[in-house]
Every structure is written in C-alpha cells, then in structure tokens.
C-alpha cells in the first residue's frame, strides 16, 4: 500500500488534535507522532502545549518532539516562552533549551530566572545554565548559583548541587565561602556539594549526612582540594520530602 502525502498530512492533523485529548496516553502518542515526522508548522503548537501539559512524561515527549525540529524555528519561540508569566511555560521552555544546547540561548538565562521564586523554574534555569554557559564564565555562574544554597526542599537542593558540580572546579571559591555562612542550612548544603564534587559516587544522601555532622559540631569544612564532576551527582532527582527554605531552623531536612 502506498502512503500518499495526503495520508501523512491527515495523520499529522490527527496527532495535533490528540495533544488536546483528555487521556494522557493519547497525548503522549500524539507528541511521539509529531516528533517522528517533524514539520516546522507545528512548533508553535508544541510550545503552547508545553505550557499547559500537566503530566511530566507527556511534557518530556513534547520536549523531545521540539528537539527534532530545526533550531532556527524552535529557538525564537522558546526564547519568548522563558519570559512568559506562566511558571510551567518558563520551566518547560528552559528545560527544552537545555536539551537543545544551543549557546545562542545563553543571554536569555538571566539572574531573574536563576533566582526565580518558583522552584521548578529555578531548577530548570540551573540545568540550562550549566549546559549553555560560555567558556570562561563558569566561575561567575557558580557565584550566582551559590547564592541559592540552602533553598527549598531536598529535590531543589539536589538540583542545585548537581548544577554546581557540573561546573567542576569553577564552583570551588563560591561554595567554599558558603561553608562559612551564618545560616546552618547554607553551610550544610555547601558542604554536601563539596563532597559531591570530590566523591561523585558517594551519593547525595551520604553527603548530606556528613554535612549535618560537621555543622552540628560547629565546623565549616573548608575546601578539600579539587575533584572531577561525574555524569550524575547523587541518586538522581527522585521524589523526596520538601524542607524549609528559610535560613534558620533545623538542618535535619538537609539539602
């Protein structure tokens, strides 16, 4: 049986309609279909859907579909989305930019995004920043990221530690300074991040426990030489309990 251009067009139109289906499985298959037959005309629809899609695995497929399209088409639309008022739109646009990895997106990774009040937006910005940062600007990025140490619950702190570790030795001065911060949560998070740089295989939980002990004893750890970042810092961004983002209080929740 011969597949005609009309048949392909019909399939794509059907897939676009599937993105609006109430069933997540249908939306997932629709995103897969669109990514499997890229067409620049549908980039806008994919970007718009990213901003409202409630299911993580569908959003991830939408991102994959966008990466299958020409960067010349996707990049301008994603750069507009990072300035959106919607938190999900900003977060998913940043996530997609990190997957595309085009350095022309770097100027869009602003201080405002890296310190965004929404944890998901900030986490996406951190991941995008370490992918897109130009050579020679790693230390400045690390200094900015270090201002967020101690923030949020476990997943947020893990994301920040992973981003700092990805910068390698460039993170050392800023994180070392944070080990002497007055806030116990900041010191503990900085110490845990240092250990992840030295021992990527140690895991985030062990690094946090060691940091708690040091802080409880009134120490700050200091620098312990340089290490090489691994592909993954810790146990991954799985589920975990959220902690307080304040600068005081118990450190039992840890980074």
Residue 213 pLDDT = 59
Does the CA dihedral 173-174-175-177 come out positive or negative? positive
pLDDT at site 237: 39
Over pLDDT 70: what percentage of the chain?
74
Per the model's pLDDT, the better-predicted residue between 2 and 203 turns out to be 203
pLDDT value for 200? 76
Question: In the predicted model, is pLDDT for residue 149 greater than 70?
Answer: yes
Q: Using the 8-state DSSP alphabet, how is residue 51 labeled?
A: T
- Give me the mean pLDDT over the 107-134 stretch: 98
How far is it, in rounded angstroms, from Cα 214 to Cα 193?
13
Mean local confidence (pLDDT), 79-106: 97
Contact 124, 96 (CB under 8 A): no
Quick check: 31 pLDDT over 80?
yes
- pLDDT-derived band at 14 (thresholds 50, 70, 90) equals confident
What's the length of the chain? 255
220-254: per-residue pLDDT in tens? 554 443 333 333 333 333 333 333 333 333 333 33
Of 14-28, 91-105, 166-180, give the lowest mean pLDDT range: 14-28
* Across 58-71, average pLDDT: 97
Average predicted confidence (pLDDT) for the chain: 82
pLDDT given at position 198: 85
Q: What is the DSSP string of 158-179?
A: HHHHHHHHHTGGGGHHHHHHHT
Among residues 30, 68, 63, 70, which one has the least CA distance to residue 47? 63
Q: Which residue has the higher pLDDT, 76 or 205?
A: 76
* Residue-wise pLDDT tens digits, 171-205: 999 999 999 999 999 999 999 999 999 887 665 55
Residues 169 and 125: their CA atoms lie apart, in Å, by 20
Mean pLDDT of 102-122: 98
First to last CA, the chain: 58
Cα 66 → chain centroid: 17
Mean pLDDT of 41-56: 96
Q: Which residue has the higher pLDDT, 254 or 137?
A: 137
| pTM of the predicted model as reported, rounded to 2 decimal places | 0.77
* 220 vs 46, residue with greater confidence: 46
* Mean pLDDT on 4-13: 61
């Amino acid at each position: 049986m011969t597949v005609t251009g009309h048949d392909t067009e019909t399939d794509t139109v059907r897939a676009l309609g599937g993105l609006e289906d109430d069933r997540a499985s249908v939306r997932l298959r629709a995103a897969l279909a669109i990514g499997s037959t890229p067409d620049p005309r549908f980039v806008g629809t994919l970007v718009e859907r990213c901003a409202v899609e409630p299911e993580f695995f569908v959003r991830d497929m939408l991102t994959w579909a966008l990466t299958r399209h020409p960067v010349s088409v996707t990049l301008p639309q994603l750069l507009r989305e990072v300035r959106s008022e919607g938190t999900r739109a900003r977060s998913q646009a940043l996530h997609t930019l990190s997957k595309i990895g085009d350095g022309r997106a770097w100027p869009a990774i602003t201080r405002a995004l890296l310190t965004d009040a929404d944890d998901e937006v900030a986490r996406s910005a951190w991941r995008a920043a370490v992918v897109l940062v130009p050579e020679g600007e790693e230390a400045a990025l690390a200094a900015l990221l270090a201002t967020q140490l101690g923030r949020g619950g476990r997943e947020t702190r893990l994301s920040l530690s992973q981003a700092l570790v990805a910068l390698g030795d460039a993170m050392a001065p800023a994180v070392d300074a944070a080990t002497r911060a007055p806030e116990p949560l900041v010191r503990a998070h900085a110490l845990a991040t240092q250990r992840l740089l030295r021992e990527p295989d140690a895991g985030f939980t062990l690094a946090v426990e060691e940091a708690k002990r040091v802080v409880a004893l009134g120490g700050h750890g200091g620098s312990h030489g340089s290490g090489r970042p691994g592909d993954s810092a810790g146990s991954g961004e799985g589920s975990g309990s959220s902690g307080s983002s304040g600068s005081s209080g118990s450190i039992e929740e840890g980074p």
